[in-house]
Amino acid sequence: MRALHRSILYPAVATLVALAGGCNRAAGTGTTGRPRVALVMKTLNNPFFIDMQRGAEKAAKDLDVDLVVQAADRETDVERQMQIVENLIQAHVGALALTPSGSREVVPVVGKANAAKIPVVIVDTRLDQKAATDAGVKTASFVGSDNYRGGQIIGEYLVKVANGRAKVAILEGIPGHETGDSRVRGFKDAIKGSPGVTIVASQPANWERDQGFNVFQNILQAHADIDTVFACNDIMALGAIEAISAAGKAGQIRVLGFDAIDDARRAITDGKMTATVAQYPDEMGRAAIEAAVKAMKGEAVPADIGVRIGLITKENAARDSDKK
């Protein structure tokens, strides 16, 4: 995946340098004279965002616009993401689609885009509403799936397959991050009517596979009777699977994830993972660029653009993947 990351990111950097140097061109146009739109994601080290980029690229091609794609190396690097956005503002992109690494932290830089009259479409993770309102920050649209409902879906599934009895560990995302918080809240609300389903541990693993392994390994040592783990993304779930194998408990613990990336689908098909929630990030990327181009042209854009979600289990893991 590292090789893929380099091959995608470095051309985007080169494009950005070229854009910044084109001071004599009209604002919002690229080297080809076409409108230019930027997509800034949390990272390119996650298949979820690679799929999002793929959808964005298809939309850009169909709409005949130049697309600049940028991301920090790690999802936790909010400062780097903010720097990338500031550079794009200086490069006078016509519109910006942003997946915030920090719901509150990025609000000031979105305000800078507002001041530069660059429309901003927020993707996947909502801005902190209070922080945005307090700062007077405006966005053209939000594109994403209902993370709260996704958490409910996986929680309802657990109650059903566990016959109302389970001891659960939760691997959270980044503390205070709207996406992960909503998934956890939906999951907890789904199981609260089943007293036999109890949460015995809930800790952040910051969306990363290594941390998913380390955190769940420590949880297993402290709570040997855990029979279920819900990870707020599939990357952490895959780390938990490795921890389960290392503990000699393969096949004894249900693993529930979120995102339905290809590796998770394979793990479900192979019986190493129980279920996940599909979000269809390619559809998010496409819808985000379509909305950004409309906003750039001054056309009306819906304030909220929903993207479908669905439960993925062994019965439909391969079949649903074919529809992507």
Give the number of domains in the chain: 2
Q: What integer pLDDT is reported at residue 2 of this predicted model?
A: 30
Judgement on whether residues 18 and 70 belong to the same structural domain of the protein = yes
Task: Quote the pLDDT of residue 176.
Answer: 82
Same domain, 106 and 236: no
**Token couple for 165:** 């009895």
- Identify the CATH number of the domain in which residue 203 sits: 3.40.50.2300
d(C-alpha 165, C-alpha 96), whole Å: 46
| % of the chain at pLDDT higher than 70 | 88
* Residue 273 belongs to some domain of the structure: yes
User: Per-residue pLDDT tens for 36-83?
Assistant: 999 999 999 889 999 999 999 999 999 999 999 999 999 889 999 999
Mean pLDDT taken over the chain: 90
* Same domain (yes/no): 28, 135: yes
The neighbouring-strand residues paired with 199 are 168
219-224 average pLDDT score: 96
The predicted structure's pLDDT at residue 8: 37
Judge contact between 232 and 170, C-beta under 8 A.
yes
- The per-residue pLDDT for 175 is 87
- The whole domain housing 181 covers 147-278
Same structural domain for residues 133 and 14?
yes
Domain-embedded: residue 322:
no
Given a cut of 80, whether residue 269 has pLDDT beyond it is yes
Residue 317, domain member (yes or no): no
Q: What is the predicted pLDDT for the residue at 152?
A: 98
Whether the per-residue pLDDT at 9 is higher than 90: the answer is: no
Q: How confident is the model at residue 166 (pLDDT cuts 50, 70, 90)?
A: very high
Check pLDDT > 90 for residue 10.
no
One domain for residues 191 and 96: no
Tell me how far apart the alpha carbons of residues 35 and 232 are, in angstroms, rounded to a whole number: 36
- pLDDT given at position 76: 87
Domain boundary among 278, 293, 315: 278
Q: Are residues 18 and 133 in the same domain?
A: yes
Mean pLDDT over 313-320 rounds to 86
Within this chain, do residues 233 and 263 fall inside the same structural domain, yes or no? Answer: yes
Is 239 domain-assigned? yes
Shared domain for 234 and 286, answered yes or no, is no
Distances from the Cα of 114 to the Cα of 110, 123, 143, 164, 224, angstroms: 6, 17, 18, 49, 51
Amino acid 169 reads A
Domain match, 196 and 293 both: no
Residue 31 lies in a domain: yes
Residue 169 three-state SS: strand
Q: Does the pLDDT at position 30 exceed 80?
A: no
Within a domain: residue 313?
Answer: no
CA 141 – CA 131 distance, rounded (Å): 17
- 154 and 263 together in one domain: yes
Same domain, 23 and 103: yes
pLDDT in tens, 101-157: 999 999 999 999 999 999 999 999 999 999 999 999 999 999 999 999 999 999 999
Q: Are residues 39 and 13 in the same domain?
A: yes
CA dihedral 241, 243, 245, 249 (to 10 degrees): -100
320 in any annotated domain: no
Residue range 222-240, pLDDT digits in tens: 999 999 999 999 999 999 9
Q: Does the pLDDT of residue 13 top 80, yes or no?
A: no
Q: Is residue 51 part of a domain?
A: yes
